[in-house]
Amino acid sequence: MKTRTSKQTGFWFILPAMVFVLLFFIFPLIAVLIMSMTNFPLLGEVEYVGLQNYTDMIGDTEFHQTIIQTLIYTVLVTPPLFFVGLGMALLIRKTNKLSSFFRTFFFMPIVIGFGSAAFLWYWLLDPGTGYIPQLLRDLGFGAMDKPILGYMPGALLAVILMVVWKFSSFQMILLMAAMQGIDPEVMESSEMDGAVKWKQLRYITLPLIKRTLGMVFILSIAGSLLAFDQFYIMTSGGPTGQTETMVFYVWRQAFRSFNLGSAAAMSVAISIALLLVSLIQVRFINEKD
């Protein structure tokens, strides 16, 4: 009997998606490479300038500063995200009613967008009407009339606090799922050996979820390197540009100063950096637990 599945049937199924990928991913990807080698004014002649934008970028100290600031943010935000996420995963990994009740509330900030969350915290931290300065006043920490978002390191720490609130349960879900996937017999037998709890965590639970730990770590690094919303909204990059991130700077170059050529060159640089980070992620995914 002749089947009606030809060699190309599968291709027809993926074709619509691939058309979108071609139009809105491959084309822009090629375009960004071309744009990065041109002086690209919105109006007027496009001029080929070779690697000029790249050499400019290498000499652009303001860009370097935003790279350093982004790295500092990434280094500071990743450990609290990770440990809060891991702690909560350990707390509610059981599949009983009470655990899933608490889980619902821990999750809630994830589904609020970074935009709304940032506007929420922007008010929450306002020295005049915000609840957090008021709470600190009530607890006897003094006047709290300095706007925390207007000073360093207060501005950076406040954004980090917001991100930990908003995002650590994302890490929690992935870690919790990995822990629930561990064979219960492994845990039980380690208990019969008299393994102390933290030793069990250190030598049995964590090594068994190594792959997920690595993935969660990389996801948090990649996400932090691309941070924009929370800084744009809560600090506008201030005070005096001290919380401006790489993406923020490139965005400003493209959409405020319309230096599309140099924005494209910096976009290429950021993409290559992120590509390297993601390649480490692929290694984790391919590695067996």
Partner 1 sequence: MKRTDLLTKKSKRRGRNSPIPFRGWLVICISLMILFLSPILSSLLHSVKTPKDSASSPPAYIPPTFSFENYRALATSSNGLISNGIHVYIGNSLILATLTVLGTLFLATLGGYGFARFNFKGKEIYFAVILLMIMVPFQALLTPIYFLFSQIELQNSLIGLSLIYITYQLPFSIFLMRNTFVVIPRELGEAAMVDGCSPFKVFRSVMLPLSRPGIISVALFAFFASWNEFIAALSMISVQEKYPLPVVLTLLSDRQLGSLNFGLLQAGVVVTMIPCITLFVVLQKYYVSGLISGGVKS
Could you say which residues in the range 88-107 bind partner 1, by CB under 8 A? 88, 91-92, 94, 96, 98, 102, 104-107
Q: Shortest gap between Cβ of 16 and partner 1 (angstroms)?
A: 5
Residue of 41, 79, 113, 207 interacting with partner 1 (CB under 8 A): 113
Segment 216-245, which members bind partner 1 (CB under 8 A)? Answer: 222, 226, 228-229, 232-233
6: tokens are: 């030809």
Task: Decide whether 169 or 243 has the Cβ nearer to partner 1.
Answer: 169
Residue of 44, 97, 185, 197 interacting with partner 1 (CB under 8 A): 197
Q: Shortest gap between Cβ of 110 and partner 1 (angstroms)?
A: 8
For the window 41-80, what string marks contact with partner 1 as x by the rule CB under 8 A? ----------------------------------------
Task: Decide whether 69 or 267 has the Cβ nearer to partner 1.
Answer: 267
- Count CB neighbours of 112 within 10 A: 13
Three-state secondary-structure class, residue 47: strand
Is residue 198 near partner 1 by the rule CB under 8 A? yes
Q: Shortest gap between Cβ of 119 and partner 1 (angstroms)?
A: 5
DSSP E strand boundaries for the chain: 38-39, 47-48
Task: Decide whether 78 or 224 has the Cβ nearer to partner 1.
Answer: 224
What does the buried/exposed string (b/e) look like for 198-208 if buried means 16 or more CB atoms within 10 Å of the residue's CB?
Answer: eebeeebbeeb
Residue of 21, 51, 75, 186 interacting with partner 1 (CB under 8 A): 21
Q: How far is CA 276 from the centre of its chain?
A: 15
Three-state secondary-structure class, residue 192: helix
Q: How far is CA 257 from CA 29, 40, 242, 251, in A?
A: 22, 12, 19, 9
| Tokens 């100290």, residue located | 61
Residue of 37, 40, 220, 249 interacting with partner 1 (CB under 8 A): 40
Question: Distance between CA atoms of 173 and 195, rounded to whole angstroms?
Answer: 26
For the window 157-196, what string marks contact with partner 1 as x by the rule CB under 8 A? --------x---x---xx--xx--------xx--x-----
The angle subtended at Cα 59 by Cα 54 and Cα 61, nearest 5°, is: 125
- Using CB under 8 A, which of the segments 49-57, 72-80, 111-119, 146-154 binds partner 1? 111-119
- Using CB under 8 A, which of the segments 24-32, 47-55, 61-69, 148-156 binds partner 1? 24-32
The answer to whether 210 touches 289, Cβ cutoff 8 Å, is yes
What does the buried/exposed string (b/e) look like for 52-61 if buried means 16 or more CB atoms within 10 Å of the residue's CB?
Answer: bbbebbeebe
Residue of 203, 255, 257, 283 interacting with partner 1 (CB under 8 A): 255
Three-state secondary-structure class, residue 227: coil
